[in-house]
Amino acid sequence: MSATTPALDAPRDDRWQSLTGEVLARFRGRYLSPLASLGLLALMFGAIVVRYDFASPTQVFLNLFVDNAYLIVLAVGMTFVILSGGIDLSVGSTVALSTVIVATALQQGWPMPLAVGTVLVVGPLLGWLMGLVIEYFDVQPFIVTLAGMFLARGLCYVISVDTLPIKDPVLRRIGLNYVYLYEDKFIRWTVVIAVAVVVIAAFTLHQTRYGRTVYAVGGNRQSTQLMGLAAARARVSVYAVSGFCAALAGLLLAVQKLSGYSLNGIGMELDAIAAAVIGGVLLSGGTGFVFGSVIGVLVLGTIQTFVTAENLDSYWTRIMTGVLLLVFVLVQRLVVRKPR
């Protein structure tokens, strides 16, 4: 009997090895890069805390959210676009346009809800138009969103080239008031809004048919169409989502700075892309998580904290971001490479 036991157990062992291999492959393909980003964030932040002995490391960590709430929202919108296999270069200019529109409208005596509502319409409308051109005229997203970037930036200069202060009491309270979590640890209302956006986006991508369609479009467009999913509608809508997030990010930046300025957001689209990539979102589409993009934003914020604490020139932030971005692109390349 003992001689035949291995033979009887062999199929079970093969099934176990096959199941284990599938789990490991899925882990390797989807979760390795975000977990690597999380590990990097923990390592970097821990090193900074040890080196500078901050009085309140917890508050320093919370300040990463306070200082980058607008970028978190922007990276969420960019995540939708990249997951679908596209790219959006217009978001930085849309952020600037949003700050200028809301500040100008308030100066002209518009009610605050109308000014904010106008911003939240203009952003998605611009994104939706770009999505239509990309989908139905078969133009590369890079070219279309580059044109959108120039258009939005040009509209900023047409409206105003000056810094426009925001004096609305409600927006000032949103930008200045603290939200205490416990004892003296605080965030601001902009962080609450950003966290709400992240939660809604994560639920949408992972628990709805629309979210699964976005992933499917980025993974294989032809297969998505054969399955009867609304691939064209999803591909257009992700640019509207990105435009909405850019508009909302512009509002958060406006209440943080309490002003609107046509030169806001220069290069911010690259920060959003870098955050998404560092957080494990594949530029080829179909793989990634919203929470990964949030981790990417926190990594960029930690770099900025280090540069500020070391009293280095600001260009070191770009240098370190560029190095990290290259490293994570190479990691992603190794992760998705198929064995020969």
* Mean per-residue pLDDT over the chain, rounded: 88
* Domain boundaries defined on the chain: 34-333
How confident is the model at residue 336, as a pLDDT?
A: 58
Reference 179, options 189, 171, 167, 193; nearest CA is 189
**Per-residue pLDDT, 340:** 43
Read out DSSP for 273-305? HHHHHHTT--TTSS---HHHHHHHHHHHHHHHH
pTM: 0.90
The reported pLDDT for the residue numbered 314 is 80
- Which is higher by pLDDT, 335 or 339? 335
**What mean pLDDT is predicted for residues 234-260?**
97
Whether 70 has a pLDDT exceeding 80, the answer reads: yes
Using CA of residue 292, residue 295, residue 299, residue 304, what is the dihedral sign?
A: positive
- What is the mean predicted confidence (pLDDT) over 175-196? 94
- Residue 116 backbone class (left: φ over 0; alpha: ψ -120 to 50; beta: rest): alpha
Q: How far is CA 92 from CA 78, 246, 282, in A?
A: 11, 7, 21
Residue 185 forms beta bridges with which residues? 182
Pick the CATH number of 34-333 from 3.30.519, 1.10.10, 1.10.3470, 3.90.226: 1.10.3470
pLDDT of residue 329: 79
What are residue 179's phi and psi, to 5 degrees?
-115, 105
pLDDT confidence tier of residue 338, bands split at 50, 70 and 90:
very low
Q: What is the mean pLDDT of residues 110-120?
A: 97
What is the distance between the alpha carbons of residues 269 and 288, in angstroms, rounded to a whole number?
Answer: 18
3-state secondary structure string across 162-185? CCEECCCHHHHHHHHCEEEEECCE
* pLDDT at site 12: 54
Compute the average pLDDT of residues 147-174. Answer: 95
pLDDT at 15: 55
Which range, 51-65, 122-136, 309-323, has the best average confidence (pLDDT)?
122-136
Whether the Cβ atoms of residue 78 and residue 277 lie closer than 8 Å to each other? no
